[in-house]
Structure 1
Amino acid sequence: MKDIKHFLRQNSLRPTKQRVIIANYLFDGVNKHVTAETLSNKLLKMKAGISLATIYNTLHDFYEKGLLKKLMINSERIYFDTNTEHHHHFYSKKDQKLIDINVDMKVSGLPKPPKNKKINKIEVLVHLDN
């Protein structure tokens, strides 16, 4: 992405040094699935010097602005996806990796929603064994 500071401002985010570093990594044109911890490890290797709390807060800020998709695998693992288009995932617990499912799926046999409610969207997460 050419001008990450402009990109952040366009999305009503102040382009702090930390946000610019994180955004440059996340929005480099390659779709990524990250947790705060995996992103922290990547940035540590880059000697970025950004605290885990700042990374966590920045990921949530980006999510709130619609720049990331949030996927809760379980109560302990939240992934952020740079591909915000509707799609599904495989999850490998052993590798702790999400893999995009790039096919149009049809889901059938859904339960009827409660009275006065309607189904908004369906996201499929297929757990894998190795």
Structure 2
Amino acid sequence: MKNKEIQMYTDMIRGVGLKATPQRISVLKVLSAMTSHPSADMLMDTLEDQGYVMSVGTIYNILETFSEKGLILKLKDNQEVMRFDANTKFHVHIYNDTNNGISDFFDPELEVLLSDYFKEKLPGKIDLNRIELSLYA
């Protein structure tokens, strides 16, 4: 990993109050590069392919901690398998029944539309942290 890249992931991890261990940096780096919304097992295979070796327990613990801190998203696929996404910015997930895939759809205009809609419709004391929208094809 390049120093600038390492620093970016280190800053992200520290930014949520965690220690930036080599294992955490590696998991976040590899997951951030994946658009397939991998399961923990799929992520472990990719980590091993790239030369990072760690136990499945370590990977599960890192993913759970990252999820709790809001650094990544947890999603369930059509077969109820937990999948992970390092992109926490607004986007739509499209679930494909045919191949059990999850793909992303980005539309900033939709985000503004939904945010404005909910600002007007929700009771005054509710502030939204995040909007998630899923489509099933």
Please confirm whether the aligned pair reaches a TM-score higher than 0.5, indicating the same fold.
yes
1:26 aligned partner, one-letter code: L
Identity of aligned residues (%): 30
Paired with 2:82 and 2:71, the residues of 1 have a C-alpha distance of: 16
Which residues of 2 match residues 1-130 of structure 1 at below 5 A?
Answer: 1-3=5-7, 4-27=9-32, 33-74=37-78, 76-103=80-107, 104=110, 123-128=132-137
* 1:61 partner letter: T
Displacement of 1:126 in angstroms is 2.5
Change (3 A) 1:122 1:10: closer
**Which structure 2 segments of 5+ residues have no match?**
115-125
Mapped partners of 1:74, 1:97: distance in 2: 8
CA contact (8 A) 1:32 1:83 kept: no
Answer yes or no: is the 8 Å Cα contact 2:35–2:103 preserved in 1: no
Which structure has more helix as a fraction of its residues?
Answer: 2
How far off its partner does 1:32 sit? 5.8
With over 3 angstroms needed to count, the CA separation of the structure-2 counterparts of 1:36 and 1:122, relative to structure 1, is: same
Secondary structure (helix, strand or coil) at the match of 1:18 reads helix
CA 1:93/1:50 → structure 2, altered by over 3 Å: closer, same or farther?
Answer: farther
In structure 2, do the counterparts of structure 1 residues 73 and 15 end up closer, same or farther at CA, with 3 Å as the change threshold?
same
SS at match of 2:77: strand
RMSD of aligned residue pairs (Cα, Å): 3.2
Q: Which moved more, 1:95-104 or 1:47-56?
A: 95-104
Q: How many residues align?
A: 121
1:31 Cα deviation after fit: 5.4
Gaps of 5+ in 1: 108-117
With over 3 angstroms needed to count, the CA separation of the structure-2 counterparts of 1:94 and 1:23, relative to structure 1, is same
Distance 2:60 2:98 in 1: 23
